[in-house]
Structure 1
Amino acid sequence: MHLAIVDSNPAALQTIRLAKNAGHRVTYVQSVRPQYRLTDANLALVSSVDRLVDGLVTTDADAVTEALAKCHAEHPIDFVTTQHEMSVEAVAAACRTLGLRGTSPEAVLIARRKDRCREALRAAGLASARFATATSEATTVAAAERIGYPVVIKPPSGAAGLLARVVHSTAEARAVWHGLRDGLDAVPEDWRGQFQRGLLIEEFLAGELVSVEIGARDGRFFPLCISGRSRWAGDGVTALGAFIPADLEARQADACWEYARQVCRAIGADIGVFHLEIMVTERGPVLVEFNPRVMGGGLPVAYRHATGQEVYAALLAILAGSDDFPAPPPRVDCTAVRVVIPREAGRLSPEATLAPLAQHPSVKEIIGFGENHTGPGSEVARGQALARFIVQEADQAALERTSEHLLRRLEPLLGVPLMAGRYSPGGHPVPRTRE
């Protein structure tokens, strides 16, 4: 198989290694501004490909189309994929123009417009949140009042939770409208076009937030993982991390798998591995968002520690038409990725260290300062990921205790206050634990 990979998040660079080990030909299109650090290890992965196209704006559909057309003319491409959220639209457009195989372009473009995704769910008769779109302060307020507070206001084609807010009143809705408009300065320049499509106002869903990782090919579905999500008690939206397995009853997990299959069919997501965020509510599973890519952040690393398998190996097997990959084994323990996030902007201490993580026996891996573009003495923004760590314990409750303990130890060493305290499904914060 000749696989063309257009851009990547840091963890997904491992797809290159696995594809080369499996004997595939790999073309890699690298962004002019990579999301990952150009470390020796990452450069070695990128340098191992059969063809490297460097320095491209991978959110530019015309540029991606031109690059892929040249590669395809020289050596026919069997499949095109991307593991960068903001590049999926450009890749979909290129595949449609060139007739190359990838995840259905129509499905990708529906998924990337959350309002259109909700319309597709409604047309298919699937559970969804009440929603509206707005392009002005007045229409934002009117939509929020019609749906009923609290609501979530966010860009319909955003990423990584940037500019998403929970709003409880008309005064907050007005303030958020102005703040989101001005907040584009914090969004990378290449992403801003996708963030400037008005606003999505939707019902605030109460329940247990989970992520479903599901593979699809030719009408068949491959269940990979359901992970639970930890949200910050301060707003109920900011993601503090994820844990495997999710804390669900068997019937709830079965309902999530069936709902995920139905969502894939409703939007036409035909081939690939997809990351669905789902709220398990009193009325059953309800989609929060559909991501036409493999899970990101530190979750693939947590998946490897939890299952002993690489999620990208499953992706490659599905793309290559193989069923030769094992289903993840059931777990008797619990594995989490937790994100170290400042709750206020500031400057890290010149002596900032992650030493407490390295010293703790339950911490299996650290994704440190370097991989997160920060370090001692750095200016940091509220909500910026400073580091991630993988922790394993006997159950979720022990995970929360260990994670909170470590965050408390880190806070004085980093010199900035950290987001801690988990939001409970009932809408009340789980308080910070005390030793």
Structure 2
Amino acid sequence: MTDPNHPPHPSAPAARHVVFVTWKTGNAPAFEAAKRLGHHVTLIRSLLMEQAQNVDFDASPYARFVDRVHVLKDATDFAALRSCVLDVHRERPVDAFVATVDALVVPVARIAEEIGVPFTDAGAAEAAKQKNRCREILAAAGVDTTRHALVGGFEEAAAFADAAGYPVVVKPARGSGSEGAHVVADADRLAGVLAEAADDAYAAGILVEEYLEGRFLSAEIGLVHGRFLRLAVSERSTWDRHEALETGTTIPAGISAEEHDRVMRFAEEVVSAVGLRLGIFHVEVMLGTDGTPRLIELNPRIMGSCLPNLFRLAGGGDIFELLVRIHLNEPIERGPTVFDRYATVRWFGAADRVPAPERVPDLGWAAEEYGDSLHALTVRFPEGDTLPPCRGNLGNFGEVQVVHPDRATSIRIAEEVVGGMADRLGIEVTR
């Protein structure tokens, strides 16, 4: 019987040239997938971002899947990236680009258009990342009418909040990873947030939005040859002390078939209205108490962190292989994903600024207690004597992954492991 998550694909064509632009070692399975499919793999790295995020690419097992590596000082430097890509393209024509990092999708899209390689539309990707522009496009199309305003400071933000009603959400007009995002309950807190806002985080502007209530979900959808591929709806968790901070995900979401269809249809309408044309996209959605989906954020790239691995653990198949095939613009016949397990991740960091523990405590207790349900538990403290308070995804120092046939059990085990780690560390963590 054919596995719906692993549809047969044609016999391997002649080797094609796939170029990855990323600083994430977690993308190594994508390199492996491209190599397994018989393609020539080039990787363009970004040294500054690897160092900033404490990534040691050289210690990862990626090398055996990559034919050629180019290390740039900063791949977000458009001129440097363009020069590198043009050299690569002259040496061996590029058939596909894969960019999985927010800051690199737009520059790669511009270069792809210049040399005629199919990729996500550059203008659409730019609109997706400029959050106020994305909201304007969706409002004009009648897809989503969430109230919002791009403001210059406190007075304009307060005027919006008075009209929309508190709480409101304040976030950088352009950004990712929940960095700089806040749910603000009153005018005093609004003044405090804007007074403390780092100029670099809000360089593209300050966006204030109405607060959305409901279930926080994300839709993962592919698009190739004008056809949508419905891959997954995930459910997200947040920290009650700082609601803008995501603390984890479970794949698939515990929602009804009708709610699943409604979220997927909304995600397709969002992607279509903005004009994204090729790739796998991560669409964050609030499913309101009235059943209406509203957009939180549109990301013109595949879901990040360990979520592709959660997709596989839950029984969804190899999403990285699918990503490579989509960016090679192959015709793909694939029905909705059928999951047979629930995969949960919980991330955690310091709730408040505290001295850094001298060492990572023994982690073996979790495996002894939870057995095969525990897929992974990692703790890695940043350099320095202090753990800063975690207020964005980059502030996490720990991660637990759990897989179980029962949704509630999967979530419970993940949360219990985080609690156990807090007890052993002797500090409060985000959870």
TM-score range, shorter chain: 0.7 to 0.9
Query: How many angstroms apart in 2 are the aligned matches of 1:121 and 1:46?
Result: 42
Residues 309 and 328 in structure 1, CA contact (< 8 A), matched pair in contact too: no
1:40 Cα deviation from its structure 2 partner: 5.6
Given the superposition, is the C-alpha separation of residues 106 and 300 from structure 1 closer, same or farther in structure 2, using an over 3 Å criterion? same
2:250 counterpart of 1:243: yes
The counterpart of 2:329, out of the listed 288, 297, 321, is 321
Q: What whole-Å deviation, never above 9, does each CA across 1:177-227 have from its counterpart, x for those lacking one?
A: 011236x5xxxxxxx6xx411111001110101111100012101111111
TM-score (norm 1): 0.87
* Number of the residue aligned with 2:34: 19
Moved more, 354-363 or 148-157: 354-363
* Number of the residue aligned with 1:433: none
* Number of the residue aligned with 1:287: 295
1:79 Cα deviation from its structure 2 partner: 2.0
Query: How many angstroms apart in 2 are the aligned matches of 1:162 and 1:137?
Result: 19
Residues 260 and 276 in structure 1, CA contact (< 8 A), matched pair in contact too: yes
* Number of the residue aligned with 2:348: 340
Moved more, 334-343 or 138-147: 138-147
Residues 357 and 366 in structure 1, CA contact (< 8 A), matched pair in contact too: no
Residues 211 and 228 in structure 1, CA contact (< 8 A), matched pair in contact too: yes
1:121 Cα deviation from its structure 2 partner: 0.6
**SS where residue 368 of structure 1 aligns?**
strand
The counterpart of 2:45, out of the listed 3, 20, 30, is 30
* Number of the residue aligned with 2:416: 405
1:283 Cα deviation from its structure 2 partner: 4.9
Query: How many angstroms apart in 2 are the aligned matches of 1:36 and 1:365?
Result: 23
Q: How does 1:240-319 map to 2 (within 5 A)?
A: 240-281=247-288, 282-307=290-315, 309-319=317-327
**SS where residue 303 of structure 2 aligns?**
coil
Moved more, 319-328 or 409-418: 319-328
Given the superposition, is the C-alpha separation of residues 2 and 358 from structure 1 closer, same or farther in structure 2, using an over 3 Å criterion? same
* Number of the residue aligned with 1:170: 187
Structure 2, unaligned runs of 5 or more:
1-15
1:135 Cα deviation from its structure 2 partner: 2.1
* Number of the residue aligned with 2:130: 113
Residues 232 and 239 in structure 1, CA contact (< 8 A), matched pair in contact too: yes
Residues 217 and 287 in structure 2, CA contact (< 8 A), matched pair in contact too: yes
Query: How many angstroms apart in 2 are the aligned matches of 1:260 and 1:134?
Result: 27
The counterpart of 1:85, out of the listed 102, 107, 118, is 102
Residues 151 and 201 in structure 1, CA contact (< 8 A), matched pair in contact too: yes
Given the superposition, is the C-alpha separation of residues 258 and 379 from structure 1 closer, same or farther in structure 2, using an over 3 Å criterion? same
Residues 349 and 413 in structure 1, CA contact (< 8 A), matched pair in contact too: no
Q: What whole-Å deviation, never above 9, does each CA across 1:350-373 have from its counterpart, x for those lacking one?
A: 243233333322543225235xx6
* Number of the residue aligned with 1:134: 151
1:324 Cα deviation from its structure 2 partner: 5.4
2:355 counterpart of 1:374: no
1:165 Cα deviation from its structure 2 partner: 0.3
Q: Percent identity?
A: 29
* Number of the residue aligned with 2:398: 387
Structure 1, unaligned runs of 5 or more:
185-191, 421-435
Residue 428 of structure 2 aligns with an amino acid whose one-letter code is: P
1:323 Cα deviation from its structure 2 partner: 4.6
Query: How many angstroms apart in 1 are the aligned matches of 2:282 and 2:222?
Result: 9
* Number of the residue aligned with 1:122: 139
1:308 Cα deviation from its structure 2 partner: 5.5
**SS where residue 276 of structure 1 aligns?**
strand
Q: What whole-Å deviation, never above 9, does each CA across 1:158-193 have from its counterpart, x for those lacking one?
A: 1100010000111111111011236x5xxxxxxx6x
Given the superposition, is the C-alpha separation of residues 24 and 407 from structure 1 closer, same or farther in structure 2, using an over 3 Å criterion? same
The counterpart of 2:205, out of the listed 198, 205, 228, is 198
Residue 130 of structure 1 aligns with an amino acid whose one-letter code is: R
CA RMSD of aligned residues (A): 2.2
Residue 247 of structure 1 aligns with an amino acid whose one-letter code is: G
Q: What whole-Å deviation, never above 9, does each CA across 1:85-140 have from its counterpart, x for those lacking one?
A: 22222222323444433111011101110111111111111024211111222222
Residue 415 of structure 1 aligns with an amino acid whose one-letter code is: G
Given the superposition, is the C-alpha separation of residues 94 and 196 from structure 1 closer, same or farther in structure 2, using an over 3 Å criterion? same
Residues 343 and 419 in structure 1, CA contact (< 8 A), matched pair in contact too: yes
* Number of the residue aligned with 2:3: none
Query: How many angstroms apart in 2 are the aligned matches of 1:73 and 1:329?
Result: 39
**SS where residue 304 of structure 2 aligns?**
coil
Query: How many angstroms apart in 1 are the aligned matches of 2:183 and 2:256?
Result: 28
TM-score (norm 2): 0.88
Moved more, 108-117 or 14-23: 14-23
Residue 41 of structure 2 aligns with an amino acid whose one-letter code is: V
1:36 Cα deviation from its structure 2 partner: 6.4
Residue 38 of structure 1 aligns with an amino acid whose one-letter code is: D
Given the superposition, is the C-alpha separation of residues 356 and 90 from structure 1 closer, same or farther in structure 2, using an over 3 Å criterion? farther
**SS where residue 204 of structure 2 aligns?**
coil
Query: How many angstroms apart in 2 are the aligned matches of 1:304 and 1:318?
Result: 18
Moved more, 405-414 or 170-179: 405-414
Query: How many angstroms apart in 1 are the aligned matches of 2:414 and 2:379?
Result: 18
Residue 368 of structure 1 aligns with an amino acid whose one-letter code is: T
Q: How does 1:141-220 map to 2 (within 5 A)?
A: 141-181=158-198, 184=200, 195-220=202-227
Residues 344 and 414 in structure 2, CA contact (< 8 A), matched pair in contact too: no
Moved more, 45-54 or 63-72: 45-54
Number of residue equivalences: 406
Query: How many angstroms apart in 2 are the aligned matches of 1:10 and 1:141?
Result: 42
Residue 270 of structure 1 aligns with an amino acid whose one-letter code is: R
Moved more, 322-331 or 124-133: 322-331
* Number of the residue aligned with 1:425: none
Given the superposition, is the C-alpha separation of residues 98 and 59 from structure 1 closer, same or farther in structure 2, using an over 3 Å criterion? same
